[in-house]
Amino acid sequence: MAKTILITGATSGFGKACAEYFASQGWQLILTGRRAERLKQLKAELGNSVRQIITLDVSERDQVFKQFKALADVDVLLNNAGLALGLEPAWEVDIDDWETMVDTNIKGLMYCTRALLPQLVKQNSGHIVNIGSTAGSWPYPGGNVYGGTKAFVQQFSRNLRADLLGSKVRVTNLAPGMAESEFSEVRFKGDVESAAKVYQGAEPLRPQDIAETVYWIVTRPAHVNINAIEVMPVDQAWGPFSVHRT
Ligand code: NDP
Ligand code: 8X3
């Protein structure tokens, strides 16, 4: 029987690339996101591979529980929906932006996980792949709460594994570095010039690279758990510590 992957944030970037890649490998898809029109387009594009589309804001707790509890036979939950907003220093940030990142990247991921986990534990199989970020391990100016939310994803993933010891349910934190998607357009609130500058003159990761990595993670033998993977483009690396000099 074909396996099923449930993807949050399937309307763009990594989520969309995963939908396309997993469909090409014969998987069934449950696709979610807030933009209903894009979900419909994907369904038209991917046809019978799409088991269901669910228009859903992951930060709406009751909706997530209602929709996810009605699902059965899910093999993989890809907790991908997320965003960064702004790059200002902490004292200039719009507090609403911080709250939106916490509501989406932390609370949304929590809700989706908690809503689906009982089924996975009961069936004693399944895999939760959480999309973290290099920003969860490595600080940078303006990363403030975004990086904090991804550090949560990293530690939550590890703690889930600790809770799940004794079951066959697997958990992975996949932490990408710079990748070209709608991520920067969202971060800069539609300012396409600023978004383009992020990738200018460099070769970032492509969403397809992440889709192939997710596929590799979930197709390891059933006794193997990939705890964490960090993936960066060759054109990106760490800088030295900064020193302020007068
Ligand atoms: P995109 O902006 O291209 O895609 C983000 C997806 O998340 C969209 O499908 C969007 O769908 C969905 N989404 C956002 N908010 C919500 C919400 N409240 N409820 C449901 N869905 C939501 O960015 P990426 O593909 O790059 O980002 C995917 C994930 O990867 C994010 O978690 C991001 O933090 C992470 N990441 C990105 C990196 C990058 O450099 N691009 C690097 C490391 C991690 P819709 O708007 O339709 O709801
Ligand atoms: C996205 C990567 O470096 O813009 O998580 O934070 S970064």
Is the shortest distance between the CB of 233 and ligand 1 below 6 Å? Answer: no
Residue spans of alpha helices (H) in the chain: 13-24, 36-46, 61-69, 95-101, 109-123, 144-164, 183-187, 192-199, 207-218
DSSP 3-state of 226: coil
Active-site residue identified among 140, 146, 199, 215: 146
CA atoms of 52 and 55, how far apart (whole Å): 10
The residues, any chain, with a CB within 8 Å of residue 171's CB and separated by 6 or more, are 127, 128, 129, 130, 157, 160, 161, 164, 225, 227
pLDDT at 54: 98
State whether the beta carbon of 184 lies less than 6 angstroms from ligand 1.
Answer: no
Instruction: Give the distance, in angstroms, between the CA of residue 118 and the centroid of all CA atoms in the same chain.
Output: 21
**Residue 15 Cβ contacting ligand 1 at under 6 Å:** yes
- Residues facing residue 29 across a β-bridge: 5, 50
pLDDT mean over 159-187: 98
pLDDT band for position 195 (cuts 50, 70, 90): very high
Q: pLDDT grade, residue 53 (50/70/90)?
A: very high
Average pLDDT score over residue span 27-51:
98
| Domain locations in the chain as residue ranges | 4-231
pLDDT at residue number 219: 98
In this structure, which ligand is nearest to the CA of 186?
A: 1
| Pocket flag, ligand 2, residue 135 (CB < 6 Å) | yes
Q: According to the model, what pLDDT value does residue 64 have?
A: 98
Q: Write the residue with the smallest CA distance to atom 25 of ligand 1.
A: 13
Whether 205 lines ligand 2, by a CB cut-off of 6 Å, is no
pLDDT of 84 reads 98
Which pLDDT score is estimated for 237?
A: 98
- pLDDT computed for residue 138 by the predictor: 98
How much is the pLDDT for 199? 98
Average pLDDT, the chain: 98
**Contacts for 211 with CB less than 8 Å, ≥ 6 apart:** 14, 17, 18, 20, 21, 22
Question: Cα dihedral angle (177, 178, 181, 186), rounded to 10 degrees?
Answer: 100
Q: pLDDT tens, 197-211?
A: 999 999 999 999 999
Between the CA of 177 and the centroid of ligand 2 the distance, in Å, is 6
> Quick one: DSSP state of residue 205?
B
Q: What is the pLDDT of residue 93?
A: 98
Confidence of residue 38 (pLDDT cuts 50, 70, 90): very high
Distances (CA, A) of 130 to 61, 160, 162, 174, 184: 18, 11, 15, 6, 20
- State pTM to two decimals: 0.98
* CATH class (in words) of the domain with range 4-231: alpha beta
**Can you tell me whether residue 7 is helix, strand or coil?**
strand
pLDDT digits (tens, 9 = 90+) for 65-112: 999 999 999 999 999 999 999 999 999 999 999 999 999 999 999 999
Token representation of residue 192: 């396409």
pLDDT band at 46 (very low <50, low <70, confident <90, very high): very high
d(CA 221, ligand 2 centre) in Å:
30
215-231: per-residue pLDDT in tens? Answer: 999 999 999 999 999 99
% of the chain beyond a pLDDT of 90: 100
- Quick check: helix, strand or coil at residue 236? coil
